[in-house]
């Protein structure tokens, strides 16, 4: 589904991503984890075709990822990308006008599921409700690949829970592949199939969540604490 | 989130155990239909693939049966369910006895202590 072959990205002299090799399969939920600056967002932007590698390849559904890939990829950014003066209804209609695969019916169901009010103006929404609306907009697209960059950041536990539930309720698990970056790993671990760990722009490991528990008797968080520290030590 | 899981065991196994306990307590009975994979995933806040593995494991244990196009049902075979409940009891007792032995307590003393403990409980202390 998604394949990185020795992909490297530099900003000036700094490596954002170094010789990245990665395989992502269809129909699974992946957690992309690592400290700030580990290359998580760059990885997502490359899958979305927003950033091209300096060397190596990024293939999405067999094609090199470029701007055309946006047809197949729904990308939820860390940033707010709303028109403040729009109501929720107008924001949905606007998004539907930009993406042919946007399903208004699904968006309406999601808005109700999240207890949002169609007539409310974006500028009057709380931070939590802005977070919910972002998810509604990206989940409403009928696309094979969903990229969620820090969907939980700065949101309270109630909002985080409603986001997790709506993912479980509205994802099409037979067709859709999801990659989520997050610092709230403990919270979303139960919904993940696999985790991919990055550190300093490099690929560290990829594991199925149950494999860690079965073979090492550890949750993802425990495993990371033990293994990432060791990795850091080796570098010093 | 909705359900808490221990770190040391796979999540799907923990859900298997949860369902076995529900059967033992008669919260779920023979022949009853289990929620669909998706429903169960949403209510527990876990990945549907995890529930798929849970149901697969229960099926392997012959505790549930999957009927094509209808869903997953707890077996009607009470002998299988009774044996499963007996096995759970047995494992719990094994663990208790092993722990008490580690504390250096003889079998007679174990029985005495257990009786005393249960009597006190009934007395409301």
Q: Do A190 and B44 touch (CB under 8 A)?
A: yes
CA–CA gap between residue A77 and residue A160 (Å, rounded): 16
- Per-residue pLDDT of A9-29, as tens digits, reads 999 888 899 999 999 999 999
* A13 vs A148, more confident: A148
Q: How far apart are CA A102 and CA A201, in angstroms?
A: 33
Are the Cβ atoms of B7 and A219 closer than 8 angstroms? yes
β-strands A145-149, A177-181 pairing: parallel
**pTM of this prediction?**
0.84
**H or E segment at A19?**
strand A14-24
Number of neighbouring beta carbons within 10 Å of residue A98: 9
pLDDT of A80 over the 80 cut: no
CA distance A6 to chain B (A): 30
Q: What is the per-residue pLDDT for B3?
A: 62
The predicted model gives A54-81 an average pLDDT of: 88
Q: Return the pLDDT at A229.
A: 63
Give backbone dihedrals phi and psi of B52, rounded to 5 degrees, phi first. Answer: -55, -45
How high is the mean pLDDT of chain A?
88
Question: Which residues of chain A are at the B interface, by a Cβ-Cβ cutoff of 8 Å?
Answer: 28-29, 161, 164-165, 168-169, 173, 187, 190-193, 209-210, 213-214, 217-219, 221-222
* Mean per-residue pLDDT, A217-233: 71
Q: Show residues of chain B in contact with A191, CB under 8 Å.
A: 45-47
CA-nearest residue to A173 within chain B is B48
Decide if A213 and B3 are in contact by the 8 Å CB cutoff.
Answer: no
Q: Are strands A194-199 and A145-149 parallel, antiparallel or unpaired?
A: unpaired
Q: Which residue has the higher pLDDT, B124 or A160?
A: A160
Q: Given an 8 Å threshold on Cβ–Cβ distance, is A169 in contact with B49?
A: no
Q: Which of A79-83, A96-100, B28-32 has the lowest mean pLDDT?
A: A79-83
* Residue in chain A nearest B4 by alpha carbon: A190
**Do A217 and B8 count as a contact with CB atoms less than 8 A apart?**
yes
> What is the nearest CA distance from B71 to chain A, expressed in angstroms?
18
The answer to whether residue A81 scores a pLDDT higher than 80 is: no
Whether the CA torsion A153, A158, A159, A161 is positive or negative: it is positive
Of A168, A213, A222, the CB nearest to B10: A213
In degrees, rounded to 5, the angle at the alpha carbon of residue A71 between the alpha carbons of residues A69 and A76 is 85
CA nearest to B55, candidates B18, B26, B12: B12
From CA B95, how far away is CA A30, in angstroms rounded? Answer: 37
Does the beta-carbon distance from A213 to B2 stay under 8 Å? no
Of the candidates B8, B16, B47, the residue with the CA atom closest to the CA atom of residue A214: B8
Q: Provide the 3-class DSSP secondary structure of residue B117.
A: helix
Question: How close, in Å, is residue B95 to chain A by CA atoms?
Answer: 20
Confidence of residue A179 (pLDDT cuts 50, 70, 90): very high
DSSP secondary structure string, A134-194? Answer: HHHHHHTB--SEEEEESTTTT--HHHHHHHHHHHHHH--TTT-EEEEE-S-HHHHGGG-SE
**Average pLDDT of A46-61?**
92
B49, closest residue in chain A (CA to CA): A193
**How far is the C-alpha of A122 from the C-alpha of A75, rounded, in Å?**
20
Q: With an 8 Å Cβ cutoff, are A173 and B48 in contact?
A: yes
Is residue A137 predicted with pLDDT exceeding 80? yes
The residue among A24, A61, A58 whose CA lies nearest residue A42 is A58
N-term to C-term CA, chain B:
35
- Reported confidence tier of residue A223, pLDDT bands at 50, 70, 90: confident
The residues, ordered by sequence, that sit 6+ positions from A64 with a Cβ below 8 Å of its Cβ are A57, A58
Reported for B64-67, long-range contacts at CB under 8 A and 24+ positions apart, including other chains, are B64/B34
125 residues of chain B, pLDDT tens digit each: 446 788 788 899 999 999 999 999 999 999 999 999 999 999 999 999 999 999 999 999 999 999 988 999 999 999 999 999 999 999 999 999 999 999 999 999 999 999 999 988 766 55
Nearest-CA neighbor of A32 among A187, A206, A231?
Answer: A206
- Residues of chain A with C-beta less than 8 angstroms from the C-beta of B47: 29, 168, 190-193
| Cβ pair B11:A210 closer than 8 A | yes
B11 reaches A (C-beta below 8 A): yes
Report CB contact under 8 Å: A193, B7.
no
């Amino acid at each position: 589904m998604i394949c990185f072959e020795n992909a490297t990205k530099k900003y000036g002299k700094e490596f954002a991503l170094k010789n990245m090799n990665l395989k992502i399969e269809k129909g699974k939920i992946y957690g992309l984890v690592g400290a700030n600056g580990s290359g998580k967002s760059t990885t997502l932007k490359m899958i979305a075709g927003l950033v091209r590698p300096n060397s190596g390849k990024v293939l999405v559904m067999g094609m090199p990822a470029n701007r055309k890939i946006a047809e197949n990829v729904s990308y939820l950014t860390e940033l707010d990308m709303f028109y403040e003066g729009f109501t929720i209804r107008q924001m949905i209609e606007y998004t539907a006008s930009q993406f042919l695969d946007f399903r208004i019916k699904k968006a309406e169901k999601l808005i109700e599921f999240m207890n949002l009010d169609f007539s409310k103006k974006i500028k009057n929404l709380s931070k939590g409700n802005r977070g919910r609306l972002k998810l509604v907009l990206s989940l409403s697209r009928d696309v094979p690949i969903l990229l969620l960059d820090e969907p939980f950041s700065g949101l309270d536990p109630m909002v985080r829970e409603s986001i997790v539930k709506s993912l479980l309720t509205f994802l099409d698990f037979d067709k859709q592949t999801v990659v989520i970056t997050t610092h709230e790993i403990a919270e979303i671990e139960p919904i993940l199939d696999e985790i991919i760990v990055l550190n300093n722009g490099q690929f560290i490991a990829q594991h199925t969540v149950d494999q860690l528990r079965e073979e090492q008797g550890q949750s993802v968080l425990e495993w990371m604490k033990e293994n990432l520290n060791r990795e850091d030590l080796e570098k010093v | 989130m909705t359900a808490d899981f221990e770190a040391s065991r796979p999540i799907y196994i923990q859900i298997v155990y949860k369902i076995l306990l529900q059967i033992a307590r008669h919260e779920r009975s023979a022949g009853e239909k289990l929620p669909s994979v998706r429903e169960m995933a949403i209510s527990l806040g876990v990945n549907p693939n995890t529930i798929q593995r849970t149901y697969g494991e229960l099926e392997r244990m012959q505790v549930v049966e999957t009927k094509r196009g209808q869903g997953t049902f707890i077996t009607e075979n009470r002998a299988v369910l009774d044996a499963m409940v007996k096995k759970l009891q047995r494992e719990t007792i094994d663990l208790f006895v092993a722990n008490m032995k580690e504390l250096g307590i003889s079998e007679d003393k174990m029985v005495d202590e257990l009786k005393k403990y249960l009597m006190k409980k009934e007395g409301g202390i």
